[in-house]
Amino acid sequence: MNENLGRRIAELRGKAGLTQQELAERLAVSRVTVSHLEAGLTVPGERTVALLASVFQLEPHELVAGTSYPAAKAERLPVVVARYTEVAHQLALLDNDLAWLEHVPARHRQAVIARWESVLADLAEVTHDERERRALREARERLRSLRTSRHER
């Protein structure tokens, strides 16, 4: 028996820590639309499935596999979608650089930190998602504390 796609969407939304309103904003639909999708009252179109898959960091076919999503619609889904936003990508790169930073001569650390402060500031200027803005603020604070702790040594 196939799983209800709406239940899968609700479960993934919960795991992602998103409210229906937050998910609706990411999809550019109303909260009522998300509620109807999760309740199985409406079947999402291909565009919505692609956006949902992206939000949940899945491919569209992974999202609908084993569900009651119509096969004819599934055939028209894109094979891949962007799984990560630019903010998520840059924050992952920052984490890699911070792990590497411990092995860098002190004179180079400050240049790396300064470059990342600039990158994160630029991203903060163009990011509209509140969760991503918060993640950028936290990353910038980590860099400030690194800069401060490096000066005290």
Q: What's the pLDDT tens digit per position in 27-40?
A: 999 999 999 999 99
Give the long-range contacts of residues 106-112, CB within 8 A, separation 24 or more.
106/150, 106/153, 109/146, 109/150, 110/147, 110/150
Q: What's the pLDDT tens digit per position in 55-69?
A: 999 999 999 999 999
Task: Break the chain into its structural domains and give their ranges.
Answer: 5-74, 86-152
Higher pLDDT, 152 or 77: 77
Q: Read out DSSP for 129-144?
A: -HHHHHHHHHHHHHHH
pTM of the model as a whole: 0.78
Average pLDDT over residues 1-26: 95
Could you tell me the fold of the domain covering 5-74? 434 Repressor (Amino-terminal Domain) (1.10.260)
